[in-house]
Chain A
Amino acid sequence: AQSVTQLDSHVSVSEGTPVLLRCNYSSSYSPSLFWYVQHPNKGLQLLLKYTSAATLVKGINGFEAEFKKSETSFHLTKPSAHMSDAAEYFCVVSNPTGTASKLTFGTGTRLQVTL
């Protein structure tokens, strides 16, 4: 079985300050992990993914995430928030055997960026 917990449903930061969106996972296997972003009234877009290579993963738009097996965490960070980062972010865990039915989504974190 696998699950993913996004620890904050809503995060608010000021523009120019760091962003931290927290994600913990549970998996019976060595997981693949993803962060997706959803802007209002849009589909989801891949930010970054971890698939058992380097534990620090860099994604688009300055985001990165670190896979920490000992803490079962995959937190998303960005050094300096921009107004365009305001969106909903989903942490996703995948069964690495490739079974399509084993993508599990977190409940999402809404990021608000204020001036």
Chain B
Amino acid sequence: NAGVTQTPKFRILKIGQSMTLQCAQDMNHNYMYWYRQDPGMGLKLIYYSVGAGITDKGEVPNGYNVSRSTTEDFPLRLELAAPSQTSVYFCASSRAGADTEAFFGQGTRLTVV
């Protein structure tokens, strides 16, 4: 019963490097989300998708890109990493919209040095 799987769990990047955070869900959910969690700040929405081929910006999209070529996968791309992107990143999915239960991955802890 995998649910939402994120890889990697931890990563250290140098300033200016790029990387992709992977997210996959096996629940056939249409909605998928990327959040970042900073200490004392709650979760902020980066990007979301309501189905394959459809993505949209959340509250804090700058410095990130996403794609959704399949229902299962929703990778998050960081281009030109900056120290401000040091955070814990969570991927989530839900069957329908914002008033249905969201299922979260275990997170990716990213440090940019």
Contact = CB atoms under 8 A, between A and B. Distances in A.
A32 B105 contact: no
Interface residues of A, number: 26
Interface string B64-105: 000000000000000000000000001010001111011011
Nearest to A94: B98
Given A100-B31, A107-B41, A43 B98 contact: no
A107 B40 contact: yes
B102 to A, nearest CB: 7
Interface of A: 9, 32, 34, 41-46, 49, 51, 90, 94-103, 105-108
Given A43-B4, A43-B107, A103-B45, A32 B40 contact: no
A100 B90 contact: no
A45 B48 CA distance: 19
23 contacts: A42-B107, A43-B90, A43-B106, A43-B107, A45-B104, A49-B99, A49-B101, A51-B99, A90-B43, A95-B98, A96-B98, A97-B97, A100-B31, A100-B50, A101-B45, A101-B56, A101-B58, A103-B33, A105-B43, A107-B40, A107-B42, A108-B40, A108-B42
B42 A103 contact: no
Contacts, number: 68
Contact of B106 (A42, A94, A98): A42
Interface string B32-73: 010000001111110010100000111100000000000000
Nearest to B35: A105
A45 B90 CA distance: 12
Contacts of B4: 43
A20 B89 CA distance: 28
B50 to A, nearest CB: 6
